[in-house]
Structure 1
């Protein structure tokens, strides 16, 4: 399917998103270092937090992107918004807010761009490495200009998996998946920031990321990056994700048979385009 956005238009948007993500991410890190344990936190729900840093970051991202591309629309975790007939930015200003609050470096800034029902750009600032990872559909995935690739792991006994869990889904099912991985000899983690977890699959540090329910802003940028890095990725159609959220799975291609059971649980088809 062709897009109304030619490559030059996408490259301009990706370049802008990369610089904005880097600036906003570093400002958020600086703010956290200055505030320390005095960071003001609001509770949106059970283990669901927001800080002034989240809101400031989202405002800066929105102002920066729409200032450059005023015809685009914007969907953010904190301020909402809706997809329009032109291109739409989908943003999580600080993915992994709980980690950010507690001083764990596993958090990031996630910026995705969608147009005509396709995910076209993914950009994530990785706080732990103070660097930006990005992808344009069909052009590969890069960390600061250097290509990244999913792992070539084929033996499950050598695999490392990352599992997420939402309180909107069954914890017993989460435990069942963990047990299945354990029985196949795989090791697993729960890290708490979907965008960064997907980067770890994209760069070959992990062989699986799976979570049963995420919002679109949590997963879209990282999912495209993982796909462009050669990982197998599956998620619902973009139109459904934007309104309802849903599951995502990304994994090293050499372990595809090991993760067929997840595809069956979710009744998902791999992303191929």
Structure 2
């Protein structure tokens, strides 16, 4: 199969981001800002990623957490240069680079690179999802009681009217875990390590690549946009066998 130009650019960009983070870590322990430029580790990583993408596709638009948060038209790249920054700051080996391409006429592609473990998740629209070149698929867990859930908390989640959703997940599933990198955890759902991903307050750079990975791995996604103009959304991802039951559980607890 011929090398896909957009996937190739995303792979190179993810590697460049990881390299930039490693260089930064040597000179700025704990992600402290550079004294001369006031640049931080995630900005340095983003710069390396965007430089590589621009080298391949200078005409494309970009949405990125650190520098380009406004929405733009396709074709576009959606980048989270360091998803799991708090983990990185505290020496917890759970963070990633997330890059998605949304085309017009060209197939969408996604890359989530879990830097600490050197795990590279990739997807091309209509061609499946892969981990380090190996095909992956969502789990075959058939009941909520056997499902392992991964989630994230945000300030609104702790409010009593929303916390009931998490209480329901705790009561009705095998267990709930929180690790702090949405892109990585969506990729882990795609690989069948978790059965369900659920989080209430997410931005497009948190989810764009991970959602495609889940879909290409045979999973299902439910997304509910917030109506307060914040451009954030709730995302529930799972395998097809338990998806509707999981959606119903979350909906009944809202």
TM-score normalised by length of structure 1: 0.80
- CA 1:266–1:228: 2 relative to 1, 3 Å: farther
Q: Residue 153 of structure 2 aligns with which residue?
A: 165
- CA 1:85–1:255: 2 relative to 1, 3 Å: closer
Q: Residue 57 of structure 2 aligns with which residue?
A: 69
* Cα deviation, residue 185, structure 1: 3.8
- CA 1:111–1:183: 2 relative to 1, 3 Å: same
- Correspondences of 1:234-253 after superposition (within 5 Å): 234-236=222-224, 244-253=231-240
Partner SS state of residue 80, structure 1: coil
Q: Residue 17 of structure 1 aligns with which residue?
A: 10
- The correspondence for 2:43, drawn from 49, 52, 55, is 55
Gaps of 5+ in 2: none
* Cα deviation, residue 183, structure 1: 2.0
* Cα deviation, residue 28, structure 1: 1.5
Deviation by residue 1:23-42 (Cα, 9 ceiling, x = unmatched): 312431453366444x3169
Q: Residue 102 of structure 2 aligns with which residue?
A: 114
Rounded Cα–Cα distance in structure 1 between residues aligned with 2:150 and 2:162 = 12
Deviation by residue 1:41-83 (Cα, 9 ceiling, x = unmatched): 69xxxxxxx9711001111111111121111011111101545
Partner SS state of residue 113, structure 1: strand
Deviates more, 1:83-92 or 1:225-234: 83-92
- CA 1:248–1:11: 2 relative to 1, 3 Å: same
Q: Report how many aligned residue pairs link the two structures.
A: 249
Does residue 1:255 correspond to 2:232, yes or no? no
Kept after mapping to 2: 8 A contact 1:28/1:57: yes
Gaps of 5+ in 1: 1-6, 43-49, 268-273
Deviation by residue 1:156-181 (Cα, 9 ceiling, x = unmatched): 33221011122255532453122212
Rounded Cα–Cα distance in structure 2 between residues aligned with 1:119 and 1:96 = 27
